[in-house]
Structure formats: structure tokens, C-alpha cells
Amino acid sequence: MRVCKLWIVALVAIELLTGTLAGCKAKRRTRVETVEEEAGPLASVVKMSDPRTAVQLVRGFYGLEQGAWRWTKSEFSVTLRPPNGSAQAGARLEIHLTVPEAVLAKVGGSTALSCTVGGQALEPKTYSKAGDFAYARDVSPSVLTADAASFDCKVSKFLAAGQVEERELALIVLEAGLVKK
């Protein structure tokens, strides 16, 4: 009788194990859906870390680094929505940037940033030391009458592709925007 009980316990244990193992081997099909974020309306201020405004970085920007900033090429463009009332009062372009020591050391001690919008050249700014800066220039109301304004920017001295790495490197940008005056 005791041997029969052991066989029954052994058979139940085998059934439990094989049932469990069979359940582990079975592939469960899970449905994976891709959710694409839609770009919202154009923003007046583009933070490099905001994926919703990345479409406004028209050209000359590299991928997001450390979740906060992007390297630029020597020429880059960003499209911004003029703030309300700027067609009458104008606005101010502000680009929050970092001039890296590594760039200045290789290019001879200084570099300049200049931008144009709607054919209007904004005053360039020269940077002769490394650090965090804001390029801030007033923008005429005459070029802010549409729903969007495209800013084409150019850096005078930069690291050519292959000089330090395979990319052309000019500035580090954290944010670009049009703000009310």
C-alpha cells in the first residue's frame, strides 16, 4: 500500500512538472504596438531635449546627447513660431549655447555665430572664451508676419570632420527660441 502511495505521489509530481515545463516552453504571443508621437504645433522655443519639437531642427543638428543638448555643424537651421504680437513689435531670438574649450583650442581662440531670417542678417557675436552663453538678437517685425520663421545660422570657425572625430563640430545648443521683447 505504501509503494502505491509513493507511485501516485511520483506520478502527480511528474504531471505537475511536465505541465509546468510545457507551459514554460509554450511561446506566448504578445501584441506590440508602435505609438508614434505626433509633432504638435510649431513652438516659439525649441528645447533640444523635447522630442515633440525636433522636427523644427531643420538641418545641421546632431542627435540628442545626455538627454539635454545637441552638437551643431558649422551651418544649422531652426524654424520657430513667432510669439503673439511679434508682427507688430518684433521679437528676440535667443540661442542658449556652449562654446567648448576643445573647439576654441583647435580653431585659434575665437569663433563667431551669425544668423539670418527672411533675408535679414542679425548681428554676429564673437566668442573668445569657452563657456555657456546666449546669442540674443532683436528680430524685426517685418520678417515675423508668417506662422513660421526660419533661422539660418553659421559658425565662423569649427572643427572639420575628421579633425577630432568623424563629425563636423561647431557649438553645443541647449535651446533656441523667439521671445517677446
Q: Which carries the bigger pLDDT value, residue 113 or residue 12?
A: 113
Write the CA distances from 120 to 28, 107, 150, 152, 156, integer angstroms. 61, 28, 11, 10, 18
For residues 159 and 103, the answer to whether their CB atoms sit within 8 Å is yes
Is the per-residue pLDDT at 150 higher than 90?
Answer: yes
Question: In 3-state terms, the chain is what percent helix, strand and coil (to 5)?
Answer: 25, 40, 40
pLDDT tens, residue by residue, 105-133: 999 889 999 999 999 999 999 999 999 99
Q: Provide the whole-model pTM.
A: 0.78
pLDDT value for 139: 97
Burial class, 112, CB count within 10 angstroms (exposed 0-12 / middle 13-18 / buried 19+): middle
45-180: CATH superfamily? Galactose-binding domain-like (2.60.120.260)
pLDDT tens, residue by residue, 22-78: 444 444 444 544 444 455 689 999 999 999 999 999 999 999 999 999 999 999 999
Average pLDDT in the chain: 85
pLDDT value for 41: 85
pLDDT > 90: what percent of the chain?
75
- Residue 114: how many CB atoms within 10 A of its CB? 17
For residues 156 and 112, the answer to whether their CB atoms sit within 8 Å is yes
Break the chain into its structural domains and give their ranges: 45-180
